[in-house]
Amino acid sequence: MIRNQAGQIVRLEVIDLSGTPFTGVVTVKVQVDDNPQATGSVGGGLMANQGNGSYLYHPSQAETNGASIEFVGIGPGAAPAAKTYDTITLAQAAALQSATGPTVRYVLGVIANALYGLNVYHAGEPIKPQDSTLCLFWLNLIFDDWNLDPQASYAEPFTVFASTGVNPQTIGPSGTWVLPARPPSIQGVAYDLGGGIYQEIYTTDDPRWWAAQQSILTGPPSGAYYEAAEPNGKLYFNNVTAAATNIRLQLRTTFGRVVLTDALVLPPGYESALTLTLMESIAEPLHATVSASLMTRAAKARSLIFSKNLRVPTLSTRNLGLPGSNGGIWDYRIGRFI
């Protein structure tokens, strides 16, 4: 769904309590991010009956203005039907529509290849909606797991935010600094000295450091503590800058929740690792067999991408019997002191 845009369509499949398609009146409830549910503002929230249990609603622009939108259809004698949309901006939608090249894959294509690989479907056979929905659930679980694994993150880009002079700064879908999801960790923090020159400051996720801070002073920050709270993370500074300034964060890339029509821009090796891992995950619920060959290939594919993302920290030694040890830092990669 496109964020903050009118003219879009929401479809819900509504079933009555006996398990057959519903034919009565359905009213939609809309929840934008973590705001309270509200009855749909268009047409009194009444959904248009399309037949065979299919109901349609055209949300207003305001009802799409959020990172995550949930629509719930409620009718007397029907089981509630819900659908959640993670939104993208108009610019992101345009970029996805024009996305081409060897690194672009579509979610439904990855799911189809996994099902074909398990021989659940023949190549080219249409995928049943219930099977694609099941696979989408497991695919998002894989992304959820990978978001917490630093080895699965393929980049650590720098992102600049404007400080608002509050402490803490919240970061996430409804934070003072907006991201689709709160970062699982923050790799580095720096503040703008002026002219685009940034000064890195001490950063930690250890609450004992923050507890040791006696008071909050006014001035350039020299340290920061990140609390990975939900739904928004909290970034505390030991000093609060009164004047507006830019704060640069180094964040690990994460995978957001996807829908079947999404395009995935995957670095080399990720399509193989993702497809083979999905095959392992969906085999049991689809009563398919996970062969020893599949397990070996999936493990190798994951190790290839994870090993490329693993950062080995510099090791420091001092007078530990290394050749010519006379203090300083021994760089094991080049075999000498630096």
Q: Answer yes or no: is 34 within a domain.
A: yes
Q: Are 144 and 165 contained in the same domain?
A: no
User: Are 245 and 268 part of one and the same domain?
Assistant: no
Domain boundary at 90, 113, 146, which? 90
pLDDT of the residue at 178 = 86
Q: Measured on CA atoms in the order 89, 92, 96, 97, is the torsion positive or negative?
A: positive
pLDDT digits (tens, 9 = 90+) for 234-249: 998 887 765 667 888 8
* Pair (129, 74) in one structural domain: no
Task: Give the up-direction half-sphere exposure of residue 239: CA atoms within 13 A in the CB hemisphere.
Answer: 15
254: three-class secondary structure by DSSP? coil
Q: What is the DSSP string of 187-214?
A: EEEEEEEETTEEEEEEEE--HHHHHT--
Domain that residue 208 falls in: 158-251
**Among 44, 68, 90, residue at a domain's last position:** 90
> Are 118 and 137 part of one and the same domain?
yes
The CATH code of the domain that includes 137 is 1.10.3230.20
Please name the amino acid found at residue 99: A
Encoded tokens for 148: 């917490």
**pLDDT under 70 in the chain at which residues?**
91-104, 214-218, 241-244, 309-338
DSSP string, 72-86: EEE-TTB--EEEEEE
Q: Based on the fold, state whether residues 63 and 197 are members of the same structural domain.
A: no
User: How many structural domains compose the chain?
Assistant: 3
Instruction: Classify residue 182: in a domain, yes or no.
Output: yes
Enter the pTM of the model. 0.54
Q: Is the dihedral of CA 218, 223, 227, 232 positive or negative?
A: positive
Mind listing the pLDDT tens digit for each residue in 84-140? Answer: 888 877 766 665 555 555 556 788 889 999 999 999 988 878 888 889 899 999 999
Please, which contacts does 186-190 make with residues 24 or more away whose CB atoms are closer than 8 Å?
186/224, 186/226, 186/233, 186/235, 186/249, 186/250, 186/251, 187/156, 187/250, 187/251, 187/252, 188/249, 188/250, 189/221, 189/224, 189/235, 189/247, 189/248, 189/249, 189/250, 190/247, 190/248
